[in-house]
C-alpha cells in the first residue's frame, strides 16, 4: 500500500498558485454577478423540491457567486423580493433565466415586465435575461430518458 505525503493532500498546488486561484476567484466575483432563476410557483409546494435540487447543482458549479430563486406566483419569495436579495448581497449584474417550458403570458410578457421594473428601480445594476428553459435542446434528452424508463428500451 503506497503512502501519500500529507503535503500532497493538503497542498495539491503551491502557495503561489493558491494565491493566484483565490485572486482569480475574487476577480470573477467583482463585479458581483447574480443568477436569478424565475420559477412559476405551484399550489403544491412539495413539487418545487426537484427544482431546488437543480438549483443546488447550479450553485455547486460555482459560475455565479449569487444564485437566487424567485416565484411568479403561489410561493415565496416573489421575483422582486429575490432581486432585492441579489442586490443586498452586492450584485452589480443580475441575469434572469425563466424556469419555464412554454412561451405563455409569463415568459412572453410578465417576466420581461418585472425585469424592466427592476431595472428602473435599480438603475445602477445591470439586468439581463436569458431564454426560457424550454428553448434548450437538452429537454429532448430528458424527455427521451423519462419515456425510455417506462417503455423499457
Partner 1 sequence: MEVGYLNYSEPPFAETVANVVAQGATRIFVTPYFLIPGKFVKVDLPRAIDAAQSAHPDVTFILAEPIGYDELLADALLKSAASALPHTEWRSDLVQAAQSCRANPECPLYGTPACPRQPFPLLTIQTTGEA
**String of contacts with partner 1 for each residue 85-124, x by CB under 8 A:** ----------x-x-xxx-xxx-xxx--x--xx--------
CA 57 to chain centre: 9
Least Å from the CB of residue 31 to partner 1 = 15
Contact with partner 1 (CB under 8 A): which of 24, 25, 61, 76?
A: 61
146 binds partner 1 (CB under 8 A): yes
The single residue of 40, 91, 125, 129 carrying the catalytic annotation is: 40
Distance CA 65, CA 62 (A): 7
Which residues make beta-bridge pairs with 37? 69, 97
CA dihedral 130, 136, 138, 144 (to 10 degrees): 140
**String of contacts with partner 1 for each residue 18-37, x by CB under 8 A:** -----------------x-x
Dihedral over Cα of 86, 87, 88, 92: its sign = positive
Q: Alpha helix locations (H) across the chain?
A: 6-10, 15-29, 49-61, 79-88, 105, 111-121, 138-151
Least Å from the CB of residue 87 to partner 1 = 17
Residue 40 annotated among the catalytic residues of the structure: yes
**Three cell numbers at 135?**
428553448
Interface ranges with partner 1 (CB under 8 A): 35, 37, 40, 42-44, 47-48, 50-51, 53-54, 57-58, 61, 63-64, 95, 97, 99-101, 103-105, 107-109, 112, 115-116, 128-133, 135-136, 138-139, 141-143, 145-147, 149-151
Mind telling me the catalytic residues? 40
Amino acid at each position: 500500500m503506497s503512502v501519500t505525503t500529507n503535503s500532497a493532500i493538503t497542498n495539491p498546488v503551491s502557495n503561489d498558485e493558491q494565491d493566484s486561484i483565490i485572486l482569480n476567484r475574487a476577480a470573477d466575483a467583482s463585479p458581483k454577478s447574480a443568477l436569478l432563476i424565475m420559477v412559476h410557483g405551484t399550489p403544491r409546494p412539495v413539487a418545487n423540491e426537484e427544482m431546488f435540487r437543480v438549483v443546488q447543482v447550479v450553485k455547486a458549479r460555482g459560475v455565479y457567486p449569487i444564485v437566487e430563486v424567485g416565484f411568479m406566483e403561489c410561493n415565496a419569495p416573489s421575483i422582486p423580493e429575490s432581486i432585492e436579495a441579489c442586490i443586498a448581497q452586492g450584485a452589480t449584474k443580475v441575469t434572469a433565466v425563466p424556469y419555464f417550458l412554454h412561451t405563455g403570458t409569463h415568459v412572453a410578457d410578465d417576466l420581461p415586465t418585472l425585469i424592466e421594473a427592476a431595472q428602473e428601480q435599480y438603475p445602477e445594476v445591470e439586468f439581463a435575461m436569458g431564454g426560457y428553459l424550454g428553448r434548450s435542446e437538452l429537454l429532448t434528452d430528458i424527455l427521451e430518458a423519462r419515456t425510455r424508463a417506462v417503455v423499457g428500451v
